[in-house]
Chain A
């Protein structure tokens, strides 16, 4: 798989993962870009010990975890490349609410539920996060219950 194929196939998935983590369009865009910079740099070293998806999701989620190092002072001038600054955000309130709820979960839960909603297999999520499959299953169940509860209150 060439870098271009990977980029086209995974960009939206990685962007959503980052968006679920930070719930900020500009920051998520930066995190996704940084992920692809690492992918681009390390692709020649990728040894196929895991699937390419697991590999990329690991890089992206680790990048998200490290994000708090640069928190609060993300320098716009330092960004590798700029897309339009003011992205028109006119998504439906329900979608926005889902992303807000997810970004308020504990950090590792944000990653787990984002991967689940992205249709990543639970065995793969376990490999990405570094926990057992059973653990991931329990956690996903619990997060979904929390989200459902929040949506019920929201609907009222």
Chain B
């Protein structure tokens, strides 16, 4: 073959299959509903949990302030967690897909960094608040039990919290961090390709 290979001609001979327009519209509609459903589901779940906690408050009429603080802390932990996740969606929405590749890559790197912060720090904060809430909540009921059983209940609860804190939490954080670090590194690498191109001219 000679030096002038007709790349454009080869390029355009690629097999192409185009879904028909009606199918596309139908699926677009389904896709839209699916996104909405997921959003509704997350919020409904949170809402149900909060309602349950409020009902506990209402029916069991906790007497001690610790129980009330415990309940509020638990609700707060969940609300903050969901709020943090919603902020991430906002970041994604702010990054416009119609920017230049260069600007978009920089946005993605910034988002991934924020996501890393939110996911790791928030998870830590969530665990602390939740553990604190449960311990405070239990106090009133344990108080009414015989000492031995009360101690056992607290020991088991603390054991459960310790398992979460020392095993589950680091594992979750590590997994998320590794994933995000890899992505950040890859995006930075691609971004650097564009810098190299700037050097070509210089």
What is the interface of chain A, defined by CB distance below 8 A to chain B?
4, 7-8, 11-12, 15-16, 19-20, 25, 29, 33, 36-38, 40, 42, 46, 50, 55, 58-59, 61-63, 65-66, 68-69, 80-81, 83-84, 87, 89-92, 94-95, 98-99, 106-109, 111, 114, 117-119, 127-132, 134-135, 138-139, 144, 147-148, 151-152, 155
Contacts and interface: CB of A to CB of B under 8 A. Distances in A.
Interface of A is mostly: helix
Contact of B97 (A36, A59, A108): A59
Given A59-B97, A80-B31, A129-B102, A118 B11 contact: yes
Contacts of A58: 97-101, 104
Given A29-B17, A90-B15, A106-B193, 11 more contacts: A15-B18, A33-B24, A37-B28, A58-B104, A65-B108, A68-B183, A68-B186, A83-B17, A95-B14, A114-B11, A132-B201
Looking at chain B, what size class is its interface with the partner chain? 35 or more
B143 to A, nearest CB: 49
A117 B7 contact: yes
Contact of B102 (A25, A84, A89, A130): A130
30 contacts: A4-B21, A15-B18, A16-B12, A19-B14, A33-B24, A38-B97, A42-B98, A58-B97, A59-B97, A65-B108, A81-B27, A84-B17, A87-B15, A91-B14, A95-B14, A98-B7, A98-B11, A108-B101, A111-B101, A130-B100, A131-B102, A131-B197, A131-B198, A132-B201, A139-B200, A147-B5, A148-B3, A148-B5, A151-B1, A152-B3
A66 B3 CA distance: 35
A80 B33 CA distance: 11
Interface of B: 1, 3, 5, 7-8, 10-19, 21, 23-24, 26-28, 30-31, 97-105, 108, 183, 186-187, 190, 193-194, 197-198, 200-201
